[in-house]
Chains A and B, each alone.
Chain A
Amino acid sequence: MKLELKGITKRYGSLVANDHIDLTVEQGQIHALLGENGAGKTTLVNVLYGLAQPDEGEILIDGQPQHLGSPSHAIKAGIGMVHQHFMLVPVFTVAENVTLGMERTRVLGLIDRRRTRRDVRELSERYGLQVNPDTLVEDLPVGVQQRVEIVKALLREANVLILDEPTSVLTPGESQELFRIMRELRSGGRSIVFISHKLKEVQEIADTITVIRRGRVVGQRPPTTSDAELASLMVGRSVQLRVTKPPASPGDVRLDVQGLTVAGEEDKSALDEVSFQVRAGEILGVAGVQGNGQTELCEALLGLVPAAAGSVRLEGQDLTHATPRQRLHSGVGYIPEDRQEDGLVAGFSVGENLILDVYNEPPYSSGIALDRGTINKTAAERVADFDIRTTSTATPVGTLSGGNQQKVILAREIGRDVRLLVASQPTRGLDVGSIEFVHRRIVEERDQGVAVLIISSELDEIYALSDRIAVMYEGKITGFRDPDVPPEELGMLMAGASDADAAAFGAAADHGQIAGGEAADETGLMEAGLYGVGLPGVAGNRREPADEGPAAGDGTHADGSDGSGSGSQSGGTQSGGSGSGPADDSGADPE
């Protein structure tokens, strides 16, 4: 089935989210849509799936114009979609989720459970998607939930499958498994629209790449196109793809965490006896798929959640039970993962946000009164120093672009004399320009002797910044590695493989002894395979060692793994100042 978009235009108020987009997806083709966050990719697929109506233009399937007024029209037209945030009911079984809306029934609308189960099982076996129809979806790992979504689309006889940022929630191993499935579907004659902002993935899987920038198609390229060219197409100017980073010169142990444990839901620990040290002048990167205890680690380090066991020491001072304010006073700087939720008060001015942590101290206040003059003066200095694009220091911070909001946080946290910087997802949802800036400042902090802890679910960021890498899985640290570790090995650690197994695999892969997934049985890691985590393929996606630079590091995560919860879903929220809308950063970061 051939899918054509002609002159699709979608406006939200004065904002043109899609501007005369032309796109042709041939049968049996994997067509990648590459673009930064807010480039209009999500709007485009919403139009395609009948979730939004285009203001102009038409959609043709096999030459026939289609009116896609709702998702059910799109489904009828043979279009299936795997949303970035899965459209699955957690408390339903796989079979119920898959057949929802087209249930197999007997008399009186009673559900024919046996037939449902059989259909789901048959379909998933035909495409090598192992899913058990009777499992509750909430009990499944994310990678398998995604497969359920694919089965759901296949059951509806989707000939064009749209995958919206499908890898943002996956480990590298799970991504490889997804790519295998995608190739399988392609060979079955189905077309796939693959949406991503990750250059490497797009180069690996796509047959054709269409680059979108600010709602327009800016080019179509074959997958052999270089990183640099794709990145500059995506951003609209040539970009510095790697952080220039002198070798670290670590000093004494600054942060010493021993056996840190945080209680989680039910009887599980969210953080389970985590121990590590960060030296002065060193960046420790914590890699891991989101939701494996990274949030709790940050919160425990900042004193936002109580430690059930273990200790936190900063320069020998025991901070385990210290309050957040005591910790800030001890010199902890913190860049939270959700800047709008935890980092800023949106309705406060830039100046006020810059002193949120020290408002009650001299020189910003005396007695019960704030010293507005000093506050404004300092704010003006910071705004200049950190290149924060704002009309004035009195502007509410919520009206700034995501990149500038992040700079406000950065300015506040490292503007004072910090001993330890904890940065969680520091560049999530930012454009390439802001990423460059944030990364550069973080490295500068390191070079001034600050101990830096970076927590990121983007491997590229981990590689770009880290002097040492720790990997977290289910609240534990599964291993420490140097930054020249192959990504496959990190991927295994991220999927819960033991330190030794991952090391053995990494060593073997380094010597080219293992080809693709066949290694699975040999290394005895099939339990990972059960969940579809699989093993990362070796051929074709080896990354250059880190000392050659993290390759397209910066460009590839321009839009942060899963962006933000809401901004990526709907056009309605995109037009808000949420920092992830189509105009994100473009207005405030003129080139």
Chain B
Amino acid sequence: MTTLTTAVRSTVAVNRTLIASATFVAFGLADILLFGLFSHGDATFAFAQFGAKVGVPNLVLPAAPVAYALGAVSIAIGVLRATVPLSRAGRRACIAGAVLAFVISLLCWADAGNSTALNVINLLQGTVVYSIPLILGALAGVMCERSGVINIAIEGQLLLGAFAAAVITSAFSSLWLGLIAGSLAGGLLGGVLAVFAIKFLVDQIILGVVLNVFASGLTGYLYDRALVPYQNRLNSPVTFSSVKIPLLGDIPIIGPVFFDSTIFLYITYAMIALVQVGLFRTRWGLRVRAVGEHPTAADTVGIKVLATRYRNVLMGGLIAGIGGAFLTIGQVGSFGKDMSSGEGYIALAAMIFGRWTPLGATAAALLFGFSTSLQSILATLNVPIPSNILLMAPYIVTIVAVAGLVGKVRAPKADGQPYVKA
């Protein structure tokens, strides 16, 4: 009887370990069977950037053997995970290792036998740039949801921010005004969300979706009616140019990727740090989290629950608005209909995968950004697979990684529940 019970009890724990290690092994097999067997020739990776002060030589790797080796590493990680009890940090290192091995195998395979070198700098730069709106959007989500308000309207906030930034920059020829306008536009939508969610207790999921549709409809209408006829005056903004940070920007590889970009990247750095430290190290953050977890408890110690939520939803909107402004005056230049194209939802996913923490959300956003960047890089190489299929690969990796490796995620307890005083 006792053995039976023990068996029942330990099944759950055993299952989790088995699922994780099986996932690692699956990654390893993919490295070997997909990328290893189908790779012929060498893969060349370029790390040079045009005009860099310090040159970095190209790296030439035999694609198939590298993929085999990395596959073996991945399988070894899987075996290790199944047999040795690991600490939390150890488990995370396993995940990082397997994902990295997979990505490198993929890149080797993609460039194998190709005369064009795969430029790693471009790939990483793209990753960072594509991640900016995702990170800002996810931070907006973290701000709202940590205080207990679900923010599905990130998409709309990005879109409205993008619109306002384009129009104001064009009309006043001031990038900074445009940036502020974009941020305020996001904040405005945040304000609407806050009032309906907090004061009128509207279902927050439905409300968010409605706001997204509203933002799409409003900007679409104004685009047709105003931006198209007055293209020159209202929709031809200049864009921010890159600012290279002295010294840091000259470091090979790292410099061009992280320290040579538009102001948006630096704002993003600042926001990640502010939100992370603010939420987890300050009085403000403790109170916000208390409101998001147990508003009644917060109320009974004199914390103003509703005011905290209003403030946070507004701040979230302002942050998302900056992300929106990036889409126009940081990247493309002019506003296009529905140009946020689902990035707000991806930001939402990044927030959840990142377990409602700024750093986690950033990591998740970078993963998504990488997938987008990879797509555009692979398009320039002659990969023997339809590009649509290729496009899916990083997302599949993400889903598998999240389902198999990231455990149960837990939202703030009062997330989405309006607070009504007794």
A179 within 8 A of B: no
Pairs across A and B, CB under 8 Å, 24 listed: A51-B422, A71-B300, A71-B301, A75-B301, A81-B300, A87-B294, A88-B297, A89-B289, A89-B290, A89-B293, A89-B294, A90-B293, A90-B294, A92-B286, A101-B303, A102-B301, A103-B283, A109-B283, A111-B283, A261-B4, A263-B8, A263-B12, A308-B8, A570-B422
Nearest Cβ on chain B to A440's Cβ, whole angstroms? 37
Nearest Cβ on chain A to B287's Cβ, whole angstroms? 7
A108 within 8 A of B: yes
Nearest Cβ on chain B to A563's Cβ, whole angstroms? 15
Set B1, B281, B287, B300: member contacting A309, Cβ < 8 A: B1
Contacting pair A87 B296 (CB below 8 A): yes
- Provided the pairs A72-B302, A109-B283, A111-B282 are in contact, do residues A100 and B1 lie with their beta carbons within 8 angstroms? no
Interface residues in A77-119 (C-beta closer than 8 Å to B) = 81, 83, 86-92, 96-97, 100-103, 105, 108-111
Contacting pair A111 B286 (CB below 8 A): yes
Set A103, A156, A569, A573: member contacting B286, Cβ < 8 A: A103
A189 within 8 A of B: no
Contacting pair A88 B284 (CB below 8 A): no
B307 within 8 A of A: no
A70 within 8 A of B: yes
Residues on B with C-beta less than 8 A from A308 are: 5, 8
B10 within 8 A of A: yes
Contacting pair B281 A111 (CB below 8 A): yes
Contacting pair A75 B286 (CB below 8 A): no
A272 within 8 A of B: yes
A210 within 8 A of B: no
Contacting pair B293 A92 (CB below 8 A): yes
CB nearest to A75 among chain B residues? B302
Set A46, A309, A573: member contacting B4, Cβ < 8 A: A309
Contacting pair B298 A100 (CB below 8 A): yes
Interface string of A247-272 (1 = CB under 8 A from B): 00000000000010101001111001
Residues on B with C-beta less than 8 A from A268 are: 9
CB nearest to B15 among chain A residues? A267
Nearest Cβ on chain B to A117's Cβ, whole angstroms? 14
- Beyond known contacts A70-B302, A267-B11: 7 more, CB 8 A cutoff: A52-B422, A71-B302, A100-B297, A266-B12, A269-B9, A309-B4, A570-B422
Residues on A with C-beta less than 8 A from B413 are: 90-91
A141 within 8 A of B: no
Docked CA distance A86–B294 (Å): 10
Nearest Cβ on chain A to B125's Cβ, whole angstroms? 33
Residues on A with C-beta less than 8 A from B2 are: 273
Nearest Cβ on chain B to A423's Cβ, whole angstroms? 28
Residues on B with C-beta less than 8 A from A108 are: 282
B13 within 8 A of A: yes
Docked CA distance A308–B303 (Å): 46
Set A86, A100, A263, A572: member contacting B422, Cβ < 8 A: A572
A571 within 8 A of B: yes
Docked CA distance A249–B293 (Å): 53
Nearest Cβ on chain B to A23's Cβ, whole angstroms? 21
Docked CA distance A109–B278 (Å): 9
- Provided the pairs A51-B422, A89-B297, A267-B12 are in contact, do residues A109 and B282 lie with their beta carbons within 8 angstroms? yes
Nearest Cβ on chain A to B328's Cβ, whole angstroms? 33
Nearest Cβ on chain A to B384's Cβ, whole angstroms? 47
Set B1, B13, B293: member contacting A91, Cβ < 8 A: B293
Interface residues in B269-321 (C-beta closer than 8 Å to A) = 277, 281-284, 286-287, 289-290, 293-294, 296-303
Interface residues in B382-422 (C-beta closer than 8 Å to A) = 413, 422
Give the top 8 A-B pairs by smallest Cβ distance, nearest first: A72-B302, A570-B422, A101-B301, A87-B297, A103-B283, A109-B282, A109-B283, A267-B13
CB nearest to A566 among chain B residues? B422
Docked CA distance A259–B303 (Å): 49
Docked CA distance A432–B281 (Å): 52
Contacting pair B303 A261 (CB below 8 A): no
Residues on B with C-beta less than 8 A from A272 are: 5
Contact-size category for A: 35 or more
Contacting pair B286 A96 (CB below 8 A): yes
Docked CA distance A573–B12 (Å): 40
Contacting pair B5 A100 (CB below 8 A): no
- Provided the pairs A71-B300, A571-B422, A572-B422 are in contact, do residues A100 and B287 lie with their beta carbons within 8 angstroms? yes
Residues on A with C-beta less than 8 A from B287 are: 100-101
Residues on B with C-beta less than 8 A from A92 are: 286, 289-290, 293
> Which label, helix, strand, loop or mixed, suits the secondary structure of the B interface?
helix
Residues on B with C-beta less than 8 A from A70 are: 302
Residues on A with C-beta less than 8 A from B289 are: 89, 92
Residues on B with C-beta less than 8 A from A571 are: 422
Nearest Cβ on chain B to A51's Cβ, whole angstroms? 6
Docked CA distance A467–B285 (Å): 55
CB nearest to A571 among chain B residues? B422
Set A72, A273, A573: member contacting B5, Cβ < 8 A: A273
Nearest Cβ on chain A to B348's Cβ, whole angstroms? 22
Residues on A with C-beta less than 8 A from B297 are: 86-89, 97, 100
Docked CA distance A245–B333 (Å): 87
- Provided the pairs A88-B297, A90-B293, A571-B422 are in contact, do residues A100 and B303 lie with their beta carbons within 8 angstroms? yes
Residues on A with C-beta less than 8 A from B13 are: 266-267
Residues on B with C-beta less than 8 A from A273 are: 1-2, 5
Nearest Cβ on chain B to A81's Cβ, whole angstroms? 7
Docked CA distance A49–B302 (Å): 11
Docked CA distance A272–B11 (Å): 15
CB nearest to B412 among chain A residues? A91
Residues on B with C-beta less than 8 A from A46 are: 422
Residues on A with C-beta less than 8 A from B10 are: 267
Interface string of A485-508 (1 = CB under 8 A from B): 000000000000000000000000
Docked CA distance A156–B297 (Å): 15
Interface residues in B317-374 (C-beta closer than 8 Å to A) = none
Residues on A with C-beta less than 8 A from B8 are: 261, 263, 269, 308-309
Interface string of A170-184 (1 = CB under 8 A from B): 000000000000000
Residues on A with C-beta less than 8 A from B282 are: 105, 108-111
Docked CA distance A100–B286 (Å): 7
Contacting pair B5 A269 (CB below 8 A): yes
Docked CA distance A83–B4 (Å): 42
Docked CA distance A266–B287 (Å): 30
- Provided the pairs A267-B12, A273-B1 are in contact, do residues A101 and B293 lie with their beta carbons within 8 angstroms? no
CB nearest to B11 among chain A residues? A267
Docked CA distance A472–B290 (Å): 34
- Provided the pairs A100-B290, A309-B8 are in contact, do residues A110 and B281 lie with their beta carbons within 8 angstroms? yes
Docked CA distance A100–B282 (Å): 11
Residues on A with C-beta less than 8 A from B303 are: 100-101
Interface residues in B186-202 (C-beta closer than 8 Å to A) = none
CB nearest to B1 among chain A residues? A259
Docked CA distance A306–B283 (Å): 46
Docked CA distance A86–B296 (Å): 10
Residues on B with C-beta less than 8 A from A101 are: 287, 298, 301-303
CB nearest to B16 among chain A residues? A267
Docked CA distance A87–B294 (Å): 8
Residues on B with C-beta less than 8 A from A105 are: 282-283
Interface string of B1-29 (1 = CB under 8 A from A): 11011001111110000000000000000
Residues on A with C-beta less than 8 A from B284 are: 109
Residues on A with C-beta less than 8 A from B281 are: 110-111
Residues on B with C-beta less than 8 A from A52 are: 422
CB nearest to A72 among chain B residues? B302
Interface residues in B1-60 (C-beta closer than 8 Å to A) = 1-2, 4-5, 8-13
Among B286, B289, B293, B296, residue most surrounded by chain A Cβ atoms (within 10 Å): B286
Docked CA distance A100–B300 (Å): 10
Docked CA distance A81–B9 (Å): 40
Residues on B with C-beta less than 8 A from A86 are: 297
Docked CA distance A267–B2 (Å): 15
CB nearest to B7 among chain A residues? A309
Docked CA distance A338–B46 (Å): 68
Among B8, B289, B296, B301, residue most surrounded by chain A Cβ atoms (within 10 Å): B301
